[in-house]
Amino acid sequence: MSAWAAIPEPDAVLYGSALVNGVAVQQRSAVLLVTRLAGGQEIGRFDFGDCNADGVRDACELSCAAPGCSGVAGCGTARDTSPADGLLDDCAGHLYVLKSRIESTPDGLSPSGSAAVLNLANPASVNIFMAVAGGAEKFVRSLVIDERGKIRNLAMSILNRFAFRDFHRCRSGPDGESPGGVCSPEFFAAADYDEDGDADLSDFAFIQNNFVAE
């Protein structure tokens, strides 16, 4: 054969809380999570303002009377069996679900540009960013793609003083286990930026190098 096509693999899925200034983001907030390849190509996103990704803001799906929703196609069409909670039935309230596209390619190295390449011998690393209220994307962390259908519960936070606070709670030293207490498993995983099973000085250095002054 003279040409080969990339083969889609199961998405890498992250889910959990996203934090802005130490506060959990809620559904219908203007917060966006984006996964990008090293070259900048987008391969996944989760929009808290459109959590079912149908192109209609959740506030508009709930009511055509919401600000800016009059005349919007699809407004007022939300499936909502419990209107009192203000959440769409197919959304997770305060949780994000970020799906990132994965593929296999003939050489196991060169991405097509629309997905990360799965190569168990030489795992790819993708970058996750957060944008708040239409502002610039700010780096959150990298994710190593080292298995098919990877699903992880992981707290997301812009690398600012609040992320440092959470790292401080979970620091364990080289080869250390989670200290427990106020350090939940998902926050321990979030503090382990190099994904080597601990929260140590190398992870602290990662925060220093990517710190966002706010």
pLDDT in tens, 64-110: 998 889 889 888 887 766 766 667 766 777 899 999 999 998 888 88
Q: Which two tokens stand for residue 53?
A: 């990704």
Q: In what order do the strands lie in the sheet with 31-36?
A: 42-47, 31-36, 124-132, 138-145
The pLDDT value recorded for residue 153 is 94
User: How do residues 123-173 score in pLDDT, each as one tens digit?
Assistant: 989 999 999 999 999 999 999 999 998 899 999 999 999 999 999 999 988
The pLDDT value recorded for residue 74 is 84
Query: What are the extents of the domains in the chain?
Result: 1-51+94-158, 54-91, 159-214
Residue 177 per-residue DSSP state = P
70: left (phi over 0), alpha (psi -120 to 50) or beta: beta
Q: Which of 23, 80, 78 is nearest to 54 (CA)?
A: 78
Q: Which two tokens stand for residue 92?
A: 């997770």
Q: Which CATH superfamily is domain 1-51+94-158 in?
A: Immunoglobulins (2.60.40.10)
User: Average model confidence (pLDDT) for the chain?
Assistant: 88
- pTM listed for this prediction: 0.86
The CA distances from residue 158 to 49, 141, 181, in Å, are 18, 8, 23
The pLDDT value recorded for residue 86 is 66
Q: Are 37 and 116 in contact (CB under 8 A)?
A: yes
Q: Can you tell me the distance from the alpha carbon of 18 to that of 150, in angstroms, rounded to the nearest whole number? A: 19
pLDDT value at 200 more than 90: yes
Share of the chain above pLDDT 90, in %: 54
User: How do residues 11-34 score in pLDDT, each as one tens digit?
Assistant: 999 999 999 988 999 988 999 999
- pLDDT-based confidence at residue 214 (cuts at 50, 70, 90): low
- pLDDT-based confidence at residue 212 (cuts at 50, 70, 90): confident
The pLDDT value recorded for residue 22 is 87
